Structures are given as C-alpha cells and as structure tokens.
Homo-oligomer: A and B are copies of this chain.
Amino acid sequence: MNRLTCQKEFDIRFSEVDSMGIVWHGSYSLYFEDAREEFGRQYNIEYLYIFEQGFYAPIVELHIEYKNPLRYKDRARIEISYRHTEAAKLIFDYKIFNADSGKLSATGYSVQVFLDRDFNLMWDVPAFIRQWREKYL
C-alpha cells in the first residue's frame, strides 16, 4: 500500500497570533484544512470533486496536540498523511513543524464521513472513493 502524503510551507500571519505572542490554538484547524486542500489538489480528491460526485465530507472528529508554539514571522511546514481505513471515512494525520528549526509544533488527526446531498450519512464507502482508493493505494 502506498503512503499518500504531501506537505506545504506557510508563513504565520499577524492576525493568527494572540496576546501571548504565539499562534492562537484555534488557528491550527485552519492549517489542517489548508493541508487537506493541498492533499486534495495533489491526489485529485478536492472538496469540489467530492461535491460533484454528490457528497459532502464534513469533519466529525478533530484532535490536535500542541508541542511548541509558533510565533509571528515564523515559517511553518505542515505534513498531511492519508491513514487507511476500510470504513466509509477519510482519516488524515498531520504534523506541523517550524520550517527553520525543524522543531515539531503540533500533531493531530481528523476524521471525515460522507453525506449525500440530503445530509444522509453513508454507511457504505461511496463508489468514487472505492475507485480512488484502488487507484492511489
């Protein structure tokens, strides 16, 4: 099975930093989302593609562990990896680093499920996801 992963570098924005001078913890969910989009672009499974197949893929679980703070003007790097499951889910693992020092800043994971356009939960893996797994894994 292939390990599907990609990464992205980004700058810390002034508005993401709180009065302690470090990135506000809530901003990390945005970094994770940026990483999912980057993954989607690279592996052809973008939100819009999922939507065109007739589905939403909302987040149902989000977990973040904060190791070392990021500060304004830091350059950061996020790694996202696809974690395989047989279930009708998309699971991603994340690692955020300070891109200059290489220090680990945060880790986490997210779980997404599939809903049809009427917001019904899909218990079975949608066909387009099965095909995607066959192609890429």
Contact = CB atoms under 8 A, between A and B. Distances in A.
Interface string A17-42: 11111101110011001100100000
A61 interface: yes
Contacts of A123: none
B18 A17 contact: yes
- Chain A at the B interface: SS class: mixed
A15 B14 contact: no
Given A13-B33, A47-B14, A72-B48, A59 B25 contact: yes
Contact of A69 (B58, B62, B67): B58
Interface in A49-102: 56, 58-67, 69, 72-73
